[in-house]
Structure 1
Amino acid sequence: MYKSLIRPLLFKFDPEDVHHFVFGAIRFIHRIPGVPSLIRGIFQVEDKRLEREVFGLKFKNPVGVAAGFDKDAKLFQELSNYGFGFVEIGTLTPKPQPGNPRKRLFRLKADQAIINRMGFNNGGVDEAVERLKKNKNVLIGGNIGKNKVTPNEEAVNDYIYAYNALFDYVDYFVVNVSSPNTPNLRALQDKEPLTHLLNTLQTLNKKKEAPKPILLKIAPDLTDDQLTDIIDIVNTTGIAGVIATNTTIGRDGLKDANKEETGGLSGKPLTARSTEVIRFLAEKSGKSFPIIGVGGIHTPEDAIEKLEAGADLVQLYTGFIYEGPALVKAINKKLLD
């Protein structure tokens, strides 16, 4: 029903407008008595064999929502009803910011992909915290970044602020230095500034009575030498793991008319490259740290391929939009099979 009826209708309208409409619709139907339990009954797969313990946290299943979908922590409770084992919110910045000018989100239907140049649009971390205080039982990751106006040499202060604000309300952190839509942000992936940033956060983290896992989200466009540096940095700083990967600036093999739009590309064209990065990190590190695999998961087979390449968990975003909520259940059922 989703792919034959709902998706064709939604795809007639601007993707960012549709995103907000769908959020509103999901929130509305979840206020109707009995609907949340009905949705859980349709989409959730409850089975002990799906549980995973990764970086000290227990996940009821290995399929999560990638950052960028629920930027402001407005829908995490409802999303969990569709069968996700965890929800990653953000990217959140210390101060609210509008992001880049619209239009900034583009479907590439011929490629089953999306290009976005959102630019960390969010209402600020403090606003999100107020919503997270109402969390009942959803395992939450907090993806944090810097404000656009903050120069790179002061970026560490933005990450510290977001870390402190979110600490009591998320289960793990993700340091995002790999979005292509904030000017010069990816320069923070260079070895020296990245090591400094992660060491600073780890120093704060270790002072806590119960430290939280800190992960690093990396770009798919890194070279093998840069990926080797990432392995060194993870092992040196002692962070909990890596999320591979963010969106790509590559455009190879695209057919859709929107392929020339600037921004980060996600979806099917990213499937193979994100899996390559996962496999490289897992093999070259001797699987010395956990990996969350994300990028181009549109089928259960895509998810299993990433898990077999070395991922411990997977996340959906673009595949969830193109395939619908049944994809989560299909992956979990396939894992059981």
Structure 2
Amino acid sequence: MACLGCEAQPIARSGDTRYTGEYIQQRRRPMPDWSYHTLFKPLLFKLGGRQARDLTLRAIGGLSRIPGGTFVIRTMGHMEMSPLLQDDLAGVPIACPVGLSGGLDPHGTAHRALAQFGLGFIELGPVTVRAVHSAAPIERAAEEEAIVYPDGYVNDGADVVLARLRKGTGHRLPHFVRLRPMPGSSPREALEEQQELLFKLAPYAAGFVLDGLAEGWPSETALAYLAEVRQLAHTAAPGKPVLLYVPQGVPLRAWLDTARSFSGVVLGDAQREPGSRRERVGGGAAVLSAQLSTVRGLREALGERSAIVAAGGVHQPQDATDLLAAGANSVMLHSGLVYAGPGLPKRINEAILYDRIASSSFDDTADNHDEDSTPSFWANWGWMGLLGLGMIIGGILAWFIAATSVLLPYDEVFLGKSRSEVMRWNAHLLHFMSHDRITLAGTMISIGIFYYQLANHGLRYGLHWARTAVISSCVVGFSSFFLYLGYGYFDPLHALVAVVLLPMFLLTLRGLKDRPSRKQPNLHNDRVWLRAQWGQCCLVVLGFGLGIGGLTISAVGITDVFVSTDLTYLGISRDQLSTWSESLIPLIAHDRAGFGGALFSLAVAITASALWGINPGEGWLWWTFLWGGIPGFTAGLYVHAHIGYTDFVHLLPVYIAVLLYIVGLVLTYPYLSHSANAEGAVLK
């Protein structure tokens, strides 16, 4: 694949083409396509095109402007760029070769949010000297995955754009400003307009893109105009690149000679209708095929010195990699984000990163061997594996105790009552306590399975998302120990378990390093991928639901202790419990709060794994969800049935969770258990 137009270019900036300390994976945090395709896209596509666009951009733009908003966007799917994606576009450094077309958000409403989606640069424009507005409907041609705009000139005008740039856009991505004459301007009027635009915007633009081949002027006049504007740009912004904008449908031979005098070419994403200001963006395979042909011809004619930006027809990662392989330096996205979802930039970057690693040659040196090999068991990941096994063993032991005696000797000492006395006073009480303790035990086993799997298949191979998942879950889990103390009851067994497991967690943190994934990412928007989005949605919702449940149970455990259905099952009031033994409610509260904390810890592991780990070929993660869910759900359903606590309202959240669990597993299985593509799924 052509790496930004140069196959011989190093993949790292360290001065060495081999793997180095910067051999860092693109952190796999998939964008929320799971929510876009399942929840938002079906609703948005019922609205008119303009209403849907404005609603979406205002929503994500508004979120990015509130405190913590960009953190939420990054957490739900931000991709931290690998250094291996860095390059330059016509001399401008960019974090990755994926940009945003100006037509998607002409008013800059959501640029701060969109900058978090895995982009390397943003196009502003078209920009004209005065604002151009249109209230006509924006149409969607869904069968062709195209968008039809009523007026391709629409923008806020130079003064508004300038004020926005002066104020700050909230991101650090470079801006390439596309300049266009006012509709109906003569070439002489257009030159005066461009001079004004250039001198106003030069301080804030990383480069300029000149648009003028579709103004209805004779070809010779348009090319002469562009040559004059190019000279003006060099005067107004010396040293900054000036690229030629070429809309779809303009023959290559008509502008090729002129293109040689520019820093590069932007092959536009819009097909302009003759005699009209309407523009059609996107259009399926035909547009991509034409774009590929133009890129190949242009690269052959211009050589390697000119930048080529392909902005049309990119709707899936394969489209982008094909254009880059044909000779494009970068791609820009527009209609692809609407039809494929906000995760498209991240998916493209993963595909580019994979290709760059796959096409690079490495010296067989000790340094490379060390970098490529997995760390030893005792380095870090093995300790987390042992912690997981410890949780499994502890959960099994806790289940056995809860299913037999329920109360331990020190519980009876704290109560001042024996097990037989409790049974004589209220036959349901021990059953109720066993229900809390068995569900806690099942949750502990589930947590242990997740930790072991995340360690063995994630930390071991340097998967950043797995590290984030397991560390976040452990921090929550160990912190929840203090919930046991909320009512003044100190559980020595739980304290002993925490003392034994905490050093394992701390030893896990030593020397953790991120490394690039060796599995080929998904390249196509096929049915398997789309079904996986629905499955991922189920698992993410499950994780969030369990998290809410865990927090609620913990809150109840350290406050009211009981919900109304609990007291109905016991057939006794809270005051009667407290009167019989002042220590009884603190003992039950300790169980409830502890279970809530453990459930929240499990929810963090599930949510993080579902948000960031659903990638093709990661079959181990599917088995983790399967085996990790069985103990927790079995414990919850079994113990309620066994003790006769079967109130439908009380168990309804469990039934919903089981349904989400089963549907999520069914829908994600084909995607997780098979490689993204039939061949070359794993680098050898």
Per the shorter chain, which TM-score range?
Answer: 0.7 to 0.9
**Matched-pair contact (CA < 8 Å) for 2:85–2:349:** yes
Report how far residue 308 of structure 1 moved.
0.8
1:9 pairs, out of 43, 65, 83, with 43
> 2 CA distance for matches of 1:131 and 1:282?
36
**Matched-pair contact (CA < 8 Å) for 1:191–1:233:** no
Q: 2:67 is matched with which residue?
A: 33
Deviates more, 1:132-141 or 1:302-311: 132-141
2:222 pairs, out of 190, 193, 196, with 193
User: Structure 2 counterpart of 1:244, which letter?
Assistant: L
> 2 CA distance for matches of 1:49 and 1:218?
30
Q: 2:330 is matched with which residue?
A: 313
User: Structure 2 counterpart of 1:2, which letter?
Assistant: Y
**Matched-pair contact (CA < 8 Å) for 1:45–1:332:** no
**Matched-pair contact (CA < 8 Å) for 2:266–2:310:** yes
**Matched-pair contact (CA < 8 Å) for 1:45–1:333:** no
The unaligned stretches of length 5 or more in structure 2 are: 1-34, 355-684
**Matched-pair contact (CA < 8 Å) for 1:73–1:132:** no
User: Structure 2 counterpart of 1:94, which letter?
Assistant: V
Q: 2:300 is matched with which residue?
A: 283
Report how far residue 9 of structure 1 moved.
0.6
> 2 CA distance for matches of 1:249 and 1:56?
30
Q: 2:234 is matched with which residue?
A: 206
**Matched-pair contact (CA < 8 Å) for 1:248–1:270:** no
**Matched-pair contact (CA < 8 Å) for 2:126–2:180:** yes
Is the aligned partner of 1:328 residue 2:345? yes
State TM-score, norm by structure 1: 0.86
Deviates more, 1:282-291 or 1:50-59: 282-291
Report how far residue 187 of structure 1 moved.
2.8
> 1 CA distance for matches of 2:268 and 2:154?
20
Q: 2:185 is matched with which residue?
A: 150
2:143 pairs, out of 110, 114, 139, with 110
5 Å-filtered alignment, 1:199-278, equals 199-208=227-236, 210-223=238-251, 227-235=252-260, 238-249=261-272, 263-267=278-282, 268=284, 269-278=286-295
> 2 CA distance for matches of 1:32 and 1:128?
22
Aligned residue for 1:207, secondary structure, equals helix
Q: 1:121 is matched with which residue?
A: 154
**Matched-pair contact (CA < 8 Å) for 1:294–1:315:** yes
Is the aligned partner of 1:174 residue 2:209? yes
User: Structure 2 counterpart of 1:218, which letter?
Assistant: V
> 1 CA distance for matches of 2:124 and 2:101?
8
> 2 CA distance for matches of 1:152 and 1:331?
39
Is the aligned partner of 1:55 residue 2:90? yes
Report how far residue 29 of structure 1 moved.
1.2
- 1:151-192 superposed Cα distances (whole Å, 9 cap, x missing partner): 34422222222122111111111112245xxxxx1436x234
User: Structure 1 counterpart of 2:217, which letter?
Assistant: A
> 2 CA distance for matches of 1:210 and 1:262?
33
> 2 CA distance for matches of 1:262 and 1:272?
24
When residues 207 and 111 of structure 1 are mapped into structure 2, their CA distance, relative to the original with a 3 A threshold, is closer
> 2 CA distance for matches of 1:214 and 1:307?
21
Report how far residue 324 of structure 1 moved.
1.1
When residues 68 and 262 of structure 1 are mapped into structure 2, their CA distance, relative to the original with a 3 A threshold, is closer
> 2 CA distance for matches of 1:6 and 1:208?
44
When residues 289 and 114 of structure 1 are mapped into structure 2, their CA distance, relative to the original with a 3 A threshold, is same
- 1:94-138 superposed Cα distances (whole Å, 9 cap, x missing partner): 011224x512x2101111111222241222111111111113522
**Matched-pair contact (CA < 8 Å) for 2:202–2:237:** no
Identity in percent: 26
The unaligned stretches of length 5 or more in structure 1 are: 180-184, 251-260
Q: Runs of 4 or more off by more than 6 Å in structure 1?
A: none
- 1:243-301 superposed Cα distances (whole Å, 9 cap, x missing partner): 01342258xxxxxxxxxx98322222421111211111111223441100111111110
> 2 CA distance for matches of 1:114 and 1:8?
16
- 1:60-100 superposed Cα distances (whole Å, 9 cap, x missing partner): 0010001212223333222111111111011110011224x
Alignment RMSD, CA only? 2.2
The higher relative CO (CA closer than 8 Å, separation ≥ 6) is in 1
> 2 CA distance for matches of 1:220 and 1:193?
16
Deviates more, 1:294-303 or 1:128-137: 128-137
1:21 pairs, out of 44, 51, 55, with 55
Aligned residue for 2:65, secondary structure, equals coil
Report how far residue 26 of structure 1 moved.
1.1
User: Structure 2 counterpart of 1:263, which letter?
Assistant: R
> 2 CA distance for matches of 1:124 and 1:159?
12
> 1 CA distance for matches of 2:157 and 2:108?
11
Q: 2:173 is matched with which residue?
A: 138
> 1 CA distance for matches of 2:162 and 2:148?
28
**Matched-pair contact (CA < 8 Å) for 1:205–1:211:** no
Q: 1:82 is matched with which residue?
A: 117
User: Structure 1 counterpart of 2:43, which letter?
Assistant: L
User: Structure 2 counterpart of 1:280, which letter?
Assistant: G
State TM-score, norm by structure 2: 0.44
Report how far residue 149 of structure 1 moved.
4.1
**Matched-pair contact (CA < 8 Å) for 2:242–2:262:** yes
Q: Per residue, is there more strand in 1 or in 2?
A: 1
When residues 262 and 166 of structure 1 are mapped into structure 2, their CA distance, relative to the original with a 3 A threshold, is closer
Q: 1:71 is matched with which residue?
A: 106
Deviates more, 1:135-144 or 1:8-17: 135-144
Aligned residue for 1:147, secondary structure, equals coil
**Matched-pair contact (CA < 8 Å) for 1:275–1:305:** yes
> 2 CA distance for matches of 1:209 and 1:173?
9
User: Structure 2 counterpart of 1:232, which letter?
Assistant: D
User: Structure 2 counterpart of 1:231, which letter?
Assistant: L
Is the aligned partner of 1:302 residue 2:332? no
Aligned residue for 1:118, secondary structure, equals coil
> 2 CA distance for matches of 1:57 and 1:81?
19
> 2 CA distance for matches of 1:149 and 1:222?
20
> 1 CA distance for matches of 2:112 and 2:268?
25
When residues 119 and 264 of structure 1 are mapped into structure 2, their CA distance, relative to the original with a 3 A threshold, is closer
> 1 CA distance for matches of 2:108 and 2:196?
17
Q: Per residue, is there more helix in 1 or in 2?
A: 2
**Matched-pair contact (CA < 8 Å) for 2:317–2:347:** yes
